[in-house]
């Protein structure tokens, strides 16, 4: 069996799906690896590194796609790339299937068996394969660094001959993996951190990092998260309650990092234009939900907006701004998933156990059918 690693072609993408460390382990299990030349260059992994690990290097992306039994990517493939994948091959990537319907239809029609790594269930057995968590942790870390770099005041308290400067106050909205890492990084840099999340269950995690949890005692809510551990979509009334609760916290913060996203749906608007206008001049908002519409009403994806002397950043693909570590983490996640779906001792190593919950819930297309119920529903409703 041969695994193919094409060079990523996305505008903001500098990561590579498998690093030499993982390639070496795969090859030790009698798996061949073919990688497109310079696929790892932006992540500081050279062709020589891959050759030393035992991989074959190809100058042709066409060869990587057309001669591999299993294609591993980060970003979803283009229509042209899908057309190059041979019938019956397996594709692993972040497909975001409910919002990329035409891509899923093409994968189905071309006979590609596709897995969307963002659909891996958040269960204990799948933690080592959880690419969303590994990449979100990098995004949260980098968001705090960006806030510190753009803020007009120090993060830590500074005691100098010129007087004592108080610490910056930071607010994180959404205490998932990215939010918790942003809290931890902000605290390490010396800021006073607080956090809000619609899920009361995360309060203990927030406080364990030394941050203050903004309590929502005035609004009792049930079933605040999905079975996958994500916050569910709020009703209009709940969203209004959230905005009212955040109004004072945002006003009193020097910087705000927002991370609230709902898989397959636009990000909820939690910070209004009026709330931005009430912030101190020189304050900063880093909106990690920018790609899906933003948590701040004024956010523009991959742009910096200055409104009322408040800087609002909507960064693109933060994990890719730290491509070496991001690639290493993604690669380890993917290698663990490959271990699950490939039986190196079987005569047909790509025989899939469809009874396995991890395989079943992340499998999108198989045998020229869309087999993922949520994706199928999205296609039927389009």
Q: Does residue 92 lie within any of the structural domains?
A: yes
Residue 224 has pLDDT above 60, yes or no: no
Q: Does residue 377 lie within any of the structural domains?
A: no
∠ CA(56), CA(59), CA(65), 5° rounding?
75
| Same domain? 333 vs 317 | no
| Same domain? 104 vs 50 | yes
Q: Does residue 357 lie within any of the structural domains?
A: yes
Q: Out of 130, 134, 137, 327, which one is annotated catalytic?
A: 130
| Same domain? 268 vs 155 | yes
As to burial, measured by CB atoms within 10 angstroms (0-12 exposed, 13-18 middle, 19+ buried), residue 114 is buried
Any catalytic annotation for residue 230?
yes
161/168 Cα distance (integer angstroms): 19
| Same domain? 265 vs 168 | yes
Residue 233 has pLDDT above 90, yes or no: no
Instruction: Label residue 235 by pLDDT band (50, 70, 90).
Output: low
Please report, rounded to a whole number, the percentage of residues in the chain having pLDDT higher than 70: 93
Instruction: Determine the pLDDT at residue 243.
Output: 80
Any catalytic annotation for residue 133?
yes
Residue 201 has pLDDT above 90, yes or no: no
Q: Does residue 238 lie within any of the structural domains?
A: yes
Domain of residue 38, residue span: 2-119+326-369
Strands 255-258 and 284-287: parallel
| Same domain? 305 vs 361 | no
The two three-digit tokens of residue 47, written as one number: 């062709």
| Same domain? 312 vs 215 | yes
Question: Could you report the per-residue pLDDT of 47-74, keeping only the tens digit for each?
Answer: 999 999 999 999 999 999 999 999 999 9
Question: Could you report the per-residue pLDDT of 341-360, keeping only the tens digit for each?
Answer: 987 666 566 778 999 999 99
DSSP string for residues in 243-286: HHHHHHHHHT-SEEEE----TTSPPP--B-HHHHHTSPTT-EEE
CATH code: domain of residue 267: 3.40.50.720
* Better-predicted residue by pLDDT, 133 or 241: 133
Please report, rounded to a whole number, the percentage of residues in the chain having pLDDT higher than 90: 82
Q: Does residue 374 lie within any of the structural domains?
A: no
User: What counts of helices (H) and strands (E) characterise the chain?
Assistant: 13, 17
| Same domain? 108 vs 241 | no
Q: Out of 37, 47, 56, 122, which one is annotated catalytic?
A: 122
| Same domain? 41 vs 162 | no
Residues 6+ apart with CB under 8 A from 99: 264, 378
Any catalytic annotation for residue 127?
yes
Q: Out of 133, 261, 283, 292, which one is annotated catalytic?
A: 133
Q: Does residue 204 lie within any of the structural domains?
A: yes
| Same domain? 54 vs 69 | yes
Strands 113-116 and 90-94: parallel
């Amino acid at each position: 069996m041969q695994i193919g690693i094409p060079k990523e072609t996305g505008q903001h993408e500098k990561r590579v799906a498998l690093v030499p460390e993982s390639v070496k382990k795969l090859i030790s299990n009698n798996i061949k690896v073919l990688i497109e030349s310079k696929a790892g260059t932006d992540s500081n992994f050279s062709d020589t590194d891959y050759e030393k690990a035992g991989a074959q290097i190809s100058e042709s992306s066409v060869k990587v796609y057309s001669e591999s039994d299993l294609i591993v990517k980060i970003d979803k493939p283009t229509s042209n790339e899908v057309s190059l994948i041979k019938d019956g091959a397996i594709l692993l990537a972040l497909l975001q299937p409910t919002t990329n319907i035409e891509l899923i239809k093409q994968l189905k029609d071309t006979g590609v068996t596709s897995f969307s790594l963002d659909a891996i269930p958040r269960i204990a057995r799948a933690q080592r394969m959880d690419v969303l968590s590994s990449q979100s942790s990098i995004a949260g870390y980098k968001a705090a660094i960006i806030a510190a770099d753009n803020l007009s005041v120090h993060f830590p308290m500074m005691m100098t001959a010129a007087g004592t400067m108080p610490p910056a106050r930071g607010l994180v909205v959404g205490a998932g993996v990215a939010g918790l890492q942003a809290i931890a990084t902000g605290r390490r840099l010396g800021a006073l951190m607080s956090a809000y999340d619609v899920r009361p269950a995360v309060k203990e995690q927030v406080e364990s990092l030394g941050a203050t949890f903004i309590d929502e005692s005035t609004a009792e809510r049930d079933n605040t998260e999905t079975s996958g551990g994500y916050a569910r979509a709020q009703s209009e009334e709940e969203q209004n309650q959230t905005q009212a609760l955040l109004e004072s916290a945002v006003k009193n913060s020097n910087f705000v990092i927002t991370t609230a996203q709902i898989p397959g749906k636009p990000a909820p608007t939690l910070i209004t234009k009026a709330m931005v206008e009430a912030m101190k001049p020189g304050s900063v908002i880093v909106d990690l939900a920018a790609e899906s519409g933003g948590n701040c009403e004024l956010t523009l994806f991959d742009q910096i907006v200055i409104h009322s002397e408040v800087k609002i950043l909507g960064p693109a693909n933060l994990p890719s701004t730290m491509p070496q570590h991001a690639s290493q983490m993604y690669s380890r996640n993917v290698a663990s998933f490959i271990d699950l779906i490939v039986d190196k001792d079987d005569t047909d190593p790509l025989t899939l156990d469809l009874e396995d919950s991890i395989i079943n819930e992340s499998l999108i297309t198989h045998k020229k059918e869309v087999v993922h119920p949520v994706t199928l529903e999205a296609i039927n409703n389009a």
